[in-house]
Every structure is written in C-alpha cells, then in structure tokens.
Amino acid sequence: MVTPQPVDGDNPTTDLRDAPNSRPDQDTAQMKLSYRDAISQLLSLADFERKSRAGDPPDFHLKRIERLLGYIGNPHIGQKYVHVAGSKGKGSTSALIAWPLAASGYKTGLFSSPSIHRITERIRINGESISEGEFARIVETLWPAVERVTADGDIGVVSVFELETAMALHHFTEQGTDINVIEVGLGGRLDSTNIVTPVVSVITPISLDHVAVLGDTIGKIAGEKAGIIKRGIPVVSSPQVPDADTVIRATASANNSELIESHNAVPILNSTDHGMDGVELELGVDGRSLDTRLHLLGTHQIDNTRTAVAVLRQLINSGMPIDLGAIGEGISAVKWPARNQLVNRHPNPVFVDGAHNGASAKAFRKTVEQLFPDRGGVVLILGTVRGHDPSAVARELAPLKPRIVVTESRHPKSLRGTELAKALSECKITVSSTTTSTQLALNHARVLAGDGDVILATGSLFVAAEIIEIEHGIEPELYPDIKLPSRRSLSPAAQQN
C-alpha cells in the first residue's frame, strides 16, 4: 500500500534569480537545460494565468493541444483519468481523490493549478512533485513540438498551460501511472485538459467566476464547466445552486451520461468536530461504513470529501478494487496548503485562504466563525488579481467587522493596492491601510491586532501563499516576470532579513 507524501508547503524553495543552474539531481548529468532556464522558457509562451489579456479576443480552443499532443505521440491515449471541473474546491477535491487512490496501491498522477510555492507542485505522482531535473528534461524534450506548432503558422502559439498539460500527460505516461486526476485550469469545455477521455467526470460547486471569459451568469458558466461531460461517461456533481444544477442535468442527459449526486450517494452517518484538528467522519458507501479523519478545515471540505468518495465509489463500481480503509487513510493524509490554513498561532492567529469570489469568501467567513468563536477583532489582509470582484469578497467578509489592510502579491496580474483601495472605497468599504507587499501588509496587521484578535489573509491564493512563506521562512520561487517591491517599501525589520 502506497501512502502519498503530504504537500504541506514547509519545504524551502529556490530563488530563480540567484540559484545555481539546477539543484543536484540524479538526472542532471544528462540535462542540457537547467531548471531555471526551463521555467524561463516555459513562461516565454502565451501565459493567460500570469499576464493580462485586456483588449484581446478569447483564444481558447482544443486545436493546439490536439496538434501538440499529436506531435509528441498522443501520450494521453490509453490512460485512465478522473477529470475535475468547478468554480470552488476543485483542487481540494482532486487531492481528496488522488491521495486515496495512491493509498490503495495505484500509481496516481495529479495535475493541478495554480501551484502554491513551486511550479513543480503542478505535476505529482503519489503526492510527490516532479523533480526539478525531470521538469527541465521534459520542457527540453517537448520544445521541438512547441516550435513545430508555431511554425505551422495556422493555429497560433502554444500557451503556458497547454505545454504544462502536455508535460503532465507525457510524464504520467513515461512513469506508467495507473490512473491520473486532472484538474481543469479554466472553465472546462475549451480548457486544454478537456483533451482527455475520463473514467468519470467531476463538477464541484459552480459560482460566478471569470465572468469576462466564461459568461456573466451561473447558467453560462455552468455550460462551460459541464463541457467536460463526455458521451456515456458518468459524472459526479457536488451540491449546486439551481441554475447550475439545471444545466448539468440537461448536459448529462444529452450525453446519455449517468449523473451521480454526491450528497445522495455518500450520506454522513456521523461526525465529530475537533476544531483546528479537523473532523472525524463516518460516511456511508453502498451500505458500508467509511471512517476517516479530515484535516482540511471548513464544512465545505466535508462536501468536497463526499464528492471525492462518490468518485471513488464510482471507480469501484466500474471495476477498480479500492479498499474503504485505504480511502479513509488517504483522506486523512491530505494537506492542501493555502486553503483554510492556520499558519501561526502566536502572538495572534494567522489564518489564510485563497477565497477569490463571493461564494468562496462566504465559505471562508463561515469557517472563521466556526473555528474562532471567541475571537476578539479581525484584521483582514486583502489582495486580489485582475479579473475578480474584490468588493464581492469584502462584502461577504463584512459581518466579521474587519479592519482591512489592502495589499498586492508578486503575481504579475495582482491588482495594485491603490487600485484595490479605490475599488473598495467606491463600494463604501472602509480601508485601514494600503500597502505594496504582503510583508508590509503583515507588518501593518500585527500593529493593528490587539490581544485575542485574528489576522486573516485572503483574496487570492497568491496572497495566501506569500503569507505562508513569510511566516514559515520559505524562500519564494521567483520567476522572470516578477518585480519585487523596492527596499524602501519594506519595513526596517524586513530589510534586515
């Protein structure tokens, strides 16, 4: 039985500007391209995640990924997949599927995004990230196919996410995985991961998100997410709002795909809440009992767990032997950084989450209310990326009566602190201070926080990740397009570090 390695975000990372060409690795002797240069080469492509596309028409389709994979031998064909889409919880749900599969003895690939501390986190086998050497080797191996797509001249250039998708599929095939869990990057219908034909499709809760690309209503967004449903392939759905549920049902019916509702397929038989130490769960699976300890915090993670178990149940019913004890063991091993994570307890609790829209912020607020019932006040560090609605996040967190410190992460698409403060001010939301870095924001938050107060950091996974790095002493992995704040913008203490 293979137990996946937890990903807890506590491993030191590398500054790509100052690091040597690559870390010692068993395969570096054969490498021509360094890890640092491989990342630079990858990020030289069209990058819709990290760069603004203001004024550009959408350019999402499956033709480039089809051609790119064709040029490298179609590594995705013949592999088993679970394909996961949704607005909220798709990363956590993917991990909650992958870890139990690995615990059951299956060599399990996981492709997810975004990464928290290192880009290698996006491609994992049995919970362990791809090595820097393998990452660089695969970029080098696939690059001629990338150039060939460009040279064709009829279909545009390969994007960063398309190459990352191809890298993951290539790596999983090379390593002989038994099954792979693939998380959608954006939307579903036209996402490059939709090239795979899964054993089961999964749709986690849908809410308003990426409206400029996916549509401005729940129904339109659900249509894009439901685009991963394949003819005759069963689909597991988390509890959905009515407009999303209607679209998913209609799409499943049109494709003659069995629709499994997770909350009906996997009932909660018993639960015991242990606060910061998670929750004990007894779940029903076809008349049997599954016992586990879920360490992911928040009631929404219980829903994600039920969705994951419904997927595993479907895999069992399709002929994959999976022991319920192994499922419980795998769920208990899952750690998913920057999602409802207690980063520090003293002198004030520091609690972070990647909530970036109204729905996820509401879930975050409920978790805070549940876990910190005796809190004094709340100091909120808030930073967002362009394309999201920061006022929706702030409004959902308003019942906590927070003093708000706005900030900006290193991410190239981060909304500047001054812009964020202006947007909140226009919505009659009071801002206590405006900062230009997460380090400064944390410094301000500590000054504002009194005894018993809780410091929250949210608005994007990138803000949450940077707070974790500061608090845990993790050296950040810095990319060629990163612009660090000037030394003058940092506090004296930060300048000495």
pLDDT tens-digit map of 261-271:
999 999 999 99
User: Is 389 found in the same domain as 298?
Assistant: no
Which of 333, 359, 377 is a domain's end point? 333
Is 311 among the domain residues? yes
Q: Give me the sheet containing 128-129, strands edge to edge.
A: 128-129, 123-125, 108-111, 179-183, 81-85, 200-203, 235-237, 259-261
The lowest-confidence range among 30-34, 138-142, 147-151 is 30-34
Expressed as residue numbers, the domain containing 366 is 341-496
Is 168 among the domain residues? yes
Is 15 among the domain residues? no
User: Is 304 found in the same domain as 287?
Assistant: yes
Is 479 among the domain residues? yes
Q: What are phi and psi of 308, to 5 degrees?
A: -60, -45
What CATH number does residue 51 fall under? 3.40.1190.10
Spatial separation of the C-alpha atoms in residues 396 and 489, rounded to whole Å: 30
Q: Which residues of 97-113 are buried (b: 16+ CB within 10 A; e: fewer)?
A: bbbbbbbbebbbbbbbb
The per-residue pLDDT for 30 is 55
* 105: Cα separation from own chain's centroid: 25
Is 264 among the domain residues? yes
User: Is 150 found in the same domain as 207?
Assistant: yes
Is 301 among the domain residues? yes
Spatial separation of the C-alpha atoms in residues 100 and 329, rounded to whole Å: 7
Is 1 among the domain residues? no
Spatial separation of the C-alpha atoms in residues 381 and 454, rounded to whole Å: 11
Quote the mean pLDDT of the chain.
89
Question: Quick check: 228 and 85 in contact, CB under 8 A?
Answer: yes
Which of 333, 367, 382 is a domain's end point? 333
User: Is 455 found in the same domain as 306?
Assistant: no
85 has pLDDT over 50: yes
Which of 284, 310, 333 is a domain's end point? 333
What pLDDT, in 10s, does the model give residues 90-122?
Answer: 999 999 999 999 999 999 999 999 999 999 999
User: Is 389 found in the same domain as 326?
Assistant: no
Is 5 among the domain residues? no
Determine whether 229 is exposed, middle or buried from the number of CB atoms within 10 Å of its CB (0-12, 13-18, 19+): buried
148 has pLDDT over 80: yes
- Kindly state the percentage of the chain with pLDDT values over 90: 81
Considering its fold, how many domains does the chain have in total?
2
Question: Quick check: 202 and 307 in contact, CB under 8 A?
Answer: yes
User: Is 442 found in the same domain as 323?
Assistant: no
Question: Quick check: 216 and 251 in contact, CB under 8 A?
Answer: no
**Would you state the structure tokens that stand for residue 105, as one six-digit string?**
């003895």
What pLDDT, in 10s, does the model give residues 377-396?
Answer: 999 999 999 888 899 999 99
- Kindly state the percentage of the chain with pLDDT values over 70: 87
User: Is 287 found in the same domain as 160?
Assistant: yes
- Number of C-alpha atoms within 13 angstroms, CB side, residue 56? 10
Secondary structure class of 245 (helix, strand, coil)? helix
User: Is 120 found in the same domain as 32?
Assistant: yes
The DSSP result for 264-326, as a single string, is HHS-EEEEEE-GGG-EEEEEEETTEEEEEEE-S-SHHHHHHHHHHHHHHHHHHHTT----HHH
3 has pLDDT over 70: no
User: Is 362 found in the same domain as 452?
Assistant: yes
Mean pLDDT in residue range 165-179: 98
User: Is 421 found in the same domain as 299?
Assistant: no
The per-residue pLDDT for 208 is 81
User: Is 317 found in the same domain as 358?
Assistant: no
pLDDT bracket for residue 47 (50, 70, 90): low
DSSP 365: H
CA nearest neighbour of 224 among 194, 256, 188, 197: 188
User: Is 128 found in the same domain as 64?
Assistant: yes
What CATH number does residue 356 fall under? 3.90.190.20
Spatial separation of the C-alpha atoms in residues 87 and 328, rounded to whole Å: 26
Report which of residues 359 and 258 the model is more confident about: 258
The per-residue pLDDT for 252 is 98
